Structure 1
Amino acid sequence: MSGSEFTITIDGVEVAAAPGQTIMEAADAAHVYIPRLCDHQGLRHQGSCRVCTVKADGRSVSACTQPAAQGLVVENETAHLNKLRRDLVEMLFHEGNHLCPICEASGNCELQAMAYRLDMTTPTKFPYLEPSRALDASHPDIALDTNRCISCGRCIRASQDVDGKGVFGYVGRGIHRRVAVNGHDLAHTDAALTDEAMSEEVCPVGCIIRKGVGFSKPIGEREFDKGLIGYKIEGKRDE
């Protein structure tokens, strides 16, 4: 540990942290996985999905935005927090139209993988809202299906901060909030397949669709066929 580093405790284990790190960044460096959906490496933190909620000195905070501090005691893997996370993920399933068996993101979808990690296989707690949102397939290379959108904002931040374009943004409020584009449709924007916002890693679900590559990876070679979500951070495979 360098002179500027300090320690925090996560689930009873001391881990090193550095000034300026969030709880999640310190946990990732220590190979401790904290569930998340709206956070993505290389993008500014947003703290909107709340799936990364932890208890820090007894207070509920989002691990992706809360700074680490000397002596902070963090609870991450508890029955209470995982129930909260399951409820949040289940609400995301009920709010949109997520038909996993026929979705080209199946096996690569972070929402689907998070449900499996949290032992949520059949959402039953809340009524399905079944929204009807138009599919925008106007662009020659990209389609946008906001029926699957979970309002993580990753495409918005990538387009604004990395691509410098601002192709995506939110419209509406509350339950009616959705991602829209800065043109009549996607074809009337400067969106390009090479944009960071369109990369396979940015959209956690099957909302941003790269045309011509759907179902290209067979079962067994998809991202979460290799292990539960978080296996790369934890440094171990799900056996």
Structure 2
Amino acid sequence: MNSTFMLDGEEVPFTPGQTVMQAAAAAGKYIPHLCWHPDFAAHGSCKLCTVKIGGRFATACTVRAAAGQEVDNHTPELTHKRRTLLQLLFVEGNHFCPSCEKSGDCALQATAYEMGMLTPHFDHFFPDRPVDASHPDVLLEFNRCIMCELCVRASREVDGKDVFALSGRGTGSHLIVNSESGRLADTDFAATDRAAAVCPVGVILKKRVGFAIPIGKRTYDIAPISAQPAGDPDTGNKLEETP
């Protein structure tokens, strides 16, 4: 028999070694997240999955579940903190949802709706991040990167290619391509790579299949992110599939 912990007053079962996030996802409970992915080791960078365990803040993707834990996930305090983190992500990049091909299938946008984010609040940074259209099958729109490193991990751990990396520090951090020229075309990246489908926003886009699913009929247009199958991280890439 599995042990249990309390999540917002409800019992959630877990198996030894599972994190709070893993157990919650398996039970169909939504904890906001962007950098967590069930196929990869926890990264803990976005901090959106921060919860309160026994009155202390902790990231649900890194803390092991334990019998008798009392975890607060949906509280006004946590919603406010998560909303602030989302606002910072929006102003640190260039996110123009109405004109973005990923609108309606973007986890960042969907999470902002979920957290009731109405404005960016902070001044926009407007970083200079040129688009890389050099690859015959894939476009890189660096302006939308949120530094989750999912593409970095997928390329390294699944594809065995190490195509992507993060460079710089602080507000100067940015995604780079591991080639002498810095161009995606000068790597062995393929549109069939796992890294091509794992981005939660609109950085990695397959060419010639844009808007195959019209806006208004996409994943998060139909149901909010909290109502999606827990731990279904590649949902937001369905628009890039051919009809």
Provide TM-score, normalisation by structure 1.
Answer: 0.93
The 4+ residue runs of structure 1 with deviation greater than 6 A are none
What corresponds to 1:143 in structure 2? Answer: 139
1:50-89 residue pairs with structure 2 within 5 A? Answer: 50-89=47-86
Runs of 5+ in structure 1 lacking a partner?
A: 235-239
Q: Is the 8 A contact 1:32 1:233 kept in 2?
A: no
What corresponds to 1:237 in structure 2? Answer: none
Percent identity for Structure 1 against Structure 2: 51
Q: 1:180 and 2:176 equivalent?
A: yes
Runs of 5+ in structure 2 lacking a partner?
A: 231-243
- Separation of aligned partners in 1, 2:229 and 2:52: 20
TM-fit CA distance, 1:145: 1.2
Letter of the 2:25 counterpart: D
Letter of the 1:224 counterpart: Y
- Separation of aligned partners in 2, 1:233 and 1:141: 29
What corresponds to 1:94 in structure 2? Answer: 91
- Separation of aligned partners in 2, 1:86 and 1:232: 20
What corresponds to 2:207 in structure 1? Answer: 211
Q: Is the 8 A contact 1:151 1:178 kept in 2?
A: yes
The correspondence for 1:110, drawn from 99, 107, 110, is: 107
What corresponds to 2:191 in structure 1? Answer: 193
- Separation of aligned partners in 1, 2:201 and 2:25: 22
- Separation of aligned partners in 2, 1:193 and 1:174: 30
Q: Helix, strand or coil for the counterpart of 2:229?
A: helix
The correspondence for 1:21, drawn from 11, 18, 22, is: 18
What corresponds to 2:236 in structure 1? Answer: none
- Separation of aligned partners in 2, 1:92 and 1:132: 15
Q: 1:162 and 2:175 equivalent?
A: no
Q: Helix, strand or coil for the counterpart of 2:199?
A: coil
What corresponds to 2:238 in structure 1? Answer: none
Q: Helix, strand or coil for the counterpart of 2:225?
A: coil
Give CA-to-partner distance per residue, 1:162-186, whole Å, 9 cap, x none: 1111100111111101111111210
Q: Give the number of aligned pairs.
A: 228
Q: Is the 8 A contact 2:22 2:38 kept in 1?
A: no
Give CA-to-partner distance per residue, 1:96-122, whole Å, 9 cap, x none: 100111110000011110111111132
Give CA-to-partner distance per residue, 1:28-66, whole Å, 9 cap, x none: 122210000011231221010000000111111111111
TM-fit CA distance, 1:141: 0.5
Q: Is the 8 A contact 2:103 2:215 kept in 1?
A: no
- Separation of aligned partners in 2, 1:153 and 1:31: 25
Provide TM-score, normalisation by structure 2.
Answer: 0.91
Q: Is the 8 A contact 1:107 1:113 kept in 2?
A: yes
CA RMSD of aligned residues (A): 1.0
